[in-house]
Amino acid sequence: MTSTETTTVSLAMATDTHTSWFDRATFYPPDPIFALTAGFIADPDPNKVNLGQGTYRDDEGKPWILSSVHQAREKLISQKLYHEYLPILGLAEFRSRAAEVALGTRIYREHKETLATCQSLSGTGSLHLTGLLLRAVLNPLPKVFIPEPTWSNHHQIFRALGFECQSFPYYDYANKTLDFDSYISTLESAEPHSIFILHACAHNPTGCDPSKSQWEQIGQIFKDRQLFPLFDAAYLGFNSGDVDEDAFAIRYFVDDLELETAVCMSFAKNMGLYGERVGCTVLVAKNSLTARNTESMLEMLQRSEVSNPPGFGAKIASTVLGDEQLKGAWYEDMVTMSGRIRSMRTQLHDLLVSQATPGSWNHLVNQTGMFGFLGLSPKVVEQLRDQYYIYMSANSRISLAGLNSHNVEYVARSIKTCLEDQQF
């Protein structure tokens, strides 16, 4: 038998015992939020309500293009819009303008030489890129502390990178508020150099943020115990309508406490650029040499991951941020969005209270941002979906943006009916 024939037989035998290179692939169920949205889309009922996916909708329940974004897009299209590769680190003017949004003009100018920045694939990509960097420069790997509850991707991203993730109590389910004592206790007992994921504002999913004085206490422990702050900043300006207000914690850690800090930014929510995947990683280092070296590592890691980031969304965001008229319009757009969401909180609260719905509902107006916990049992959530076609996460987290003047009364009435049913 020739060597060629032997090789052919060997391959045939291997094929018989090895049906696929992917035999060991494990089935994972669909992401709960996207599966929920798919169920909503497929539901033919005219009264259906989607309180699951966190995308802004106007009072007609329709996607809304921000006025500032529309103008920026028209401005770009009116020019010669080339589709060339961006640099590996991304659009330079976008990176600098995004960093200025997070830090404010004064702090940005004072720390400009100690910043390492890189455009990313929205907030998810920014978190992943930051995780890659931390994994490359830290040995041994520290624990990553993540609040409970949190956005599910936090665990998925850092576990996939090999970090040990540890949840810590963040939400007081009984009182429906921030569990500040447990938060402080976790910080004080964590090993030095541990990494903590911090929601800069509009905590997802609870809507409960520390007050400014609480942030100051938290920050001082970070400084005293040499902990590393990693801010997930997906809602700057979208939460309160004021970027400066929403960026308080980031700026306090950088400016007042002089801490090295990571900020993972997304412009999906506050500019409505969901599908454009516009994000930015902003790292504040101790000195300019460290910043330069860190940025070079970000560039190397970005090259190996996505080569270079997409351009169109970054150009839109950069155009908005670089034009004073458009930037002013953006601020007004954020006031519009955050104001409508707050009004939905108030309306839902008032309707639930006025119709004597079982339970206490003050937490709805004490929470902030797009998301909030209703505090309903999984059985009630299931009944709301199956009988009233109201879709929300199993833990009763809702996106307030899914409410509007046409469906809020229906939602409140349905919640009341389901809760009363569960009493019998």
Q: What residue segments make up the domains of the chain, in order of their start? A: 30-64+340-422, 85-322
Query: Annotated catalytic residue: which of 232, 315, 330, 333?
Result: 232
Which two three-digit tokens encode residue 150? 């949190």
Interatomic CA distance for residues 316 and 309, integer angstroms: 14
Interatomic CA distance for residues 31 and 36, integer angstroms: 8
Interatomic CA distance for residues 243 and 200, integer angstroms: 11
CA atoms in the 13 A half-sphere facing the CB of 48: 17
Query: Annotated catalytic residue: which of 151, 215, 330, 361?
Result: 151
Domain 30-64+340-422 class? alpha beta
Q: How many CB atoms lie within 10 A of CB 18?
A: 9
Assess whether the previous peptide bond of 205 is cis (omega < 30° from 0): yes
Whole-number average pLDDT of the chain: 93
Query: Annotated catalytic residue: which of 179, 246, 269, 361?
Result: 269
Numbers of helices and strands, H then E, in the chain = 18, 13
pLDDT at 54: 83
- Per-residue pLDDT reduced to its tens digit, 209-246: 999 999 999 999 999 999 999 999 999 999 999 999 99
151 noted as active-site residue: yes
Architecture of the structural domain at 85-322: 3-Layer(aba) Sandwich (3.40)
pLDDT at 13: 46
- Per-residue pLDDT reduced to its tens digit, 201-219: 999 999 999 999 999 999 9
Angle at 208 between CA 383 and CA 229, to 5 degrees: 125
Phi/psi of residue 335, nearest 5 degrees:
-65, -40
pLDDT at 16: 54
Which two three-digit tokens encode residue 285? 């280092």
Overall average pLDDT of the 150-171 stretch: 95
SS3 sequence of 246-313: HCHHHHHHHHHCCCCEEEEEECHHHHCCHHHCEEEEEEECCCHHHHHHHHHHHHHHHHHHCCCCCCHH
Instruction: Name 138's Cβ contacts closer than 8 Å, sequence gap at least 6.
Output: 193
Interatomic CA distance for residues 39 and 35, integer angstroms: 6
DSSP conformation class of 88: T
- Per-residue pLDDT reduced to its tens digit, 356-410: 999 999 999 999 989 988 989 999 999 999 999 999 999 999 999 999 999 999 9
Q: How many CB atoms lie within 10 A of CB 43?
A: 15
- Per-residue pLDDT reduced to its tens digit, 87-131: 999 999 999 999 999 999 999 999 999 999 999 999 999 999 999
Interatomic CA distance for residues 256 and 343, integer angstroms: 34
pLDDT at 153: 93
